[in-house]
Every structure is written in structure tokens, then in C-alpha cells.
Structure 1
């Protein structure tokens, strides 16, 4: 089945790296990659567009269209996977609006974002381009790739998937993490942070059993940490195991929001230095 993947670009190194990562990640699948750049025709460059005009008469629209054309030319030189094809979208307006509009119009399966530097930049308190997309785009999963991240060639890759097991998952919500595990030969490590040092209640036990069953197509294990906060627990687990990916399930009131809750005083500023997949609640 063909995958439809939306890759925002501002013609920077990190957005190009995210595109290359995406092509490697989905090398087994027929895919259409939609490359979107946002600009504004109402004066001033969009926050999503970093290219400089070559002359004063060049419009923001032409900068956007020419930049996308150069990417397409670069891809043609590389002679990429014959299963992959590429489309370009030059959007007049805000990047978040452009992503949201095209996710719905094109039936996008996943958004892949490049993050500058060595962190994913997903902390919603930072109010940056990436956090705005991850927070505002509903029902479409997002994979954020730090610019400086390189996937190790290792048979023991793993995805850390923290959860409080308080609400059951729908099978469709978990499809992206299963695909990620299959594409990278990763194992999934379900991580439960037992902040209250209490045993799982009946509902949590049921949700645990169902979750493991939903993930039965891939190698999965269950892990528990006690006497720690959500943020610190996830950080320590990733650091101690040198994990390769982090998957987070985003609900308004759930584990995801606890990781970024500024009202709670945490001892670690959570900004992971590895690719992060954000799964979305499907209503």
C-alpha cells in the first residue's frame, strides 16, 4: 500500500537530512513524498522559509517555487528509489495552516520534520515551529528527526514507548510505531513510570495486556521504573540503554502533557536527542 508522507522544508540542511532519513526509512514501500514550503505574499518571509532573495524583484512565491525546484533537481541527480515519487507544494501562508490543510486534502499518513541541532525540539513550552505542528495537527502522526542524529547500524535497535496505561489504545493509533519497528528492525520497549509506587489496577492490567497484544507483530518487552518523575524516568531509561527512537502518544490529558508540564518542577529539561515519533489520538 502506498504511503503518503509530508515533509516540510525551509531549504535548510536539517530539512534535507529529514527527507533523506524518510526515504531510507520507507525504502520498502511505494511512497509519494510531498515537499511543502510556506511563504507569505503579504510582505516579509514566512517563519518557515530561510532562503534569501537573490534580487529585490524576486517575490517570496518565486523564492519558494525555485527552492522546491532545486530540491527536485537534486533528487533527480541522486537516482533514488524507483518506488518513490515526489511532489512539491508552495503554500502561501502559515506553515502550520499549510500542513493542516494538506494533511486533510491529500490523506497524509505521516509528517516527517527535521529539527536543527542535536535535539528534537518537541517541547511544547518552547513554542517553536516544530512544537506548533506537533501540538496543532490532529490525527496524523509526526516523526521528528534531529539534524545531527545518525542511526546506528545495529541488530539491537529499540523504540522506547512510555505510557501510564490509564486509557486503552486503538489499533489504528499504533500502526505508525509498528511500521517504524518493522522498517528499522527495532524492538519496542513499553515503559511504565510508576510514580505512585502502587501496583497496576485492574483497568491498567487490562490496558497493558491489550497493548502488548496490539504490538504482537514486533518484538516487544515491558519495563517499569519506580520512585521517579515521568520526565526523569524517560530520560534515564533512554540514556542507560542508549535507545534509538522515542514514541510518545499525545493526548490533551495524558503522559505526553506530563512530560512538558511547566507547572510541575522537574529536574530535567526534557528535549530528547533522538528521533521522536508522536502518535495521535484517533477519535
Structure 2
């Protein structure tokens, strides 16, 4: 069965890098890649009383600019090496990014979103741009893989999976994750901040559930005591030279604890490690 991959683009260098990464990641898999751009005039938002509604010609100009940019991107993508396993679709549409991506995920049975961590603004002072964080937290139908700027694909040898064993796992999304790990025979390092002996009954159940999901994979548990989430995760990734961080984004637990902190910049993790965000079924 062909996998459907959605790749949002703002026509930036970082967005194009995410496209090439996606093609390499699924080089041996039959996939439909949906390269998608949304454009929007903020003054057209409902309830916006501060500015007048855009004129019809402004909508036309926005549509023309988006279409021309998509044609240029299509020409550039078509210059990449051909792969008979891949079918590529290009689409641009008027509307807000999150609404349209949620629509696309449902409409096209999307299994995974792949995008750059930063877009056209490319603010090097922040680890993740606004769009990347918004997609990770608000597009709920599938996981999102965020690829750092200038990151070239390499085989996944080790994946860090930080967890507090409190999440409600989405089996479809976990399956997407395990498929990625299996195709490269990557080792999964399950990282918990705290003592193994301190897990309550619910956490023990979730641990066993994870073991059932990972039963056919190379996985191991790692316990870090007396450390904050941010220090434990980022130090572990840096020390192990891990290739990917995968996590269940439970009520902002991970972003709030890790990626909003200056330690991200000091370790350089934001520029070297892709991140796969899965969803808690309660979010």
C-alpha cells in the first residue's frame, strides 16, 4: 500500500531541504508525496475589524504569486533524480495553514507530515519556527517530522524516545514511528527521567504497552535521576550522537520543557537532530 506523505512548503531553502530529506528517507518505499503551499491575506480573517476586507484584485494577485512560486518549485523538484517508487503532487490553496493541513490529512489519508524546523524567516535564535510548532501541536491526524535546516539525510542508527509513561499512545502514529525505526534497523533508546522503582501502576501498564509496540525492534530503557527534562534529553542526545528524537507531545510537556529553553541552542541540537512529534490521544 502506497504511503501518503504531506510536505508543507513556504518556498524557502529550509522547506526544500525537507523535500529532499523526505525523498531520501522513503527512497525504497512506494509513496505519494503531496507538496503543499497555503497562502492567506490576514485582512480577510473573520472578525478583523481593524482593516478593510481585501479587494478582489488582491486575492487574484496572491493566487498568481503563489501559483508562480509553485511552478518554480515544481521545476526544481523535477530536476532531482527520478524515483519510480514516488509520485509527486503539487498544490497551493488559499486559507490558513493549520485548517488546510488538517483538511489534507483527512482528505488524502496522510500518514506523516515532513517539514522544515524554520521557514522563510529563518531566525537562527530559535530552535523551531512558529509554523513548525503550530503544526506539531495542532495538526492531530498524523505525526509530524521536523527537519533542521541544512540537515542531510543519513541512515537512522539510534532514536531517542523520551517518555514519562503517562501518555495515551495513538497506535496508528506509533506504527508510523516503528515503521521508520524498522526500515533502518534503528535502536530505540527509551529515556525516562526518574527512578524505575518509582513508576506507579498506570506507568507500568504504559511501559508494557510500549514494549508490545516495540517487540520486534531493538529497544532499551534508560533512567536518569535528579535531572530536569530538558537537561536529561538534550544531554543524552548529545552524548549518544542520536539521529532522531521521537516523543508523544502530551499537553505541551515536551516543547514546554525542552525546546523553549536556551540549552537547545547551547548544545546545538536544534541544528542537527530531526524531531518526530506524535500525539497523545487525549489532546
Q: Normalising by structure 1, report the TM-score.
A: 0.81
Q: 1:53 — aligned with what?
A: none
The alignment status of 1:186 with 2:192, answered yes or no, reads no
Alignment RMSD (CA, Å): 2.9
Partner residue, 1:97: 99
User: Are 1:172 and 2:172 matched, yes or no?
Assistant: yes
Structure 2 stretches of 5 or more lacking a match? 45-57
Contact 2:145–2:276 at 8 Å: present in 1 too? yes
Hey, what's the Cα distance between the residues in 2 that align with 1:71 and 1:267? Answer: 34
Gaps of 5+ in 1: 45-55
- When the two structures are aligned, how many residues end up with a matched partner? 261
Q: Is the 8 A contact 1:119 1:146 kept in 2?
A: no
Residue-by-residue CA offset, 1:195-239 (whole Å, 9 max, x unaligned): x78522333223212212211222111111000011111011111
- The alpha carbon displacement at 1:41 in A equals 5.7
Q: Report what 2:49 is aligned to.
A: none
Give the Cα separation in 1 of the matches to 2:168 and 2:104: 29
Q: Note if contact 2:21-2:153 (Cα within 8 Å) is conserved in structure 1.
A: no
| Corresponding residue number in structure 2 for 1:59 | 61
Aligned to 2:25: 25
* Distance in 2, Cα, partners of 1:165 & 1:120: 28
Deviations 1:49-77 (A, max 9, x none): xxxxxxx9x82212211222222222333
> By how many angstroms is 1:21 displaced?
0.4
TM-score, normalization: structure 2?
0.81
Look up the match of 2:205.
Answer: 206
* Residue 278 (structure 2) pairs with residue 279 (structure 1): yes
* Contact kept? 1:193, 1:228, Cα under 8 Å: yes
Summarize the Cα distance change of 1:130–1:220 in structure 2 as closer, same or farther, 3 Å threshold: same
> In the aligned structure 1, how far is the partner of 2:78 from the partner of 2:259?
44
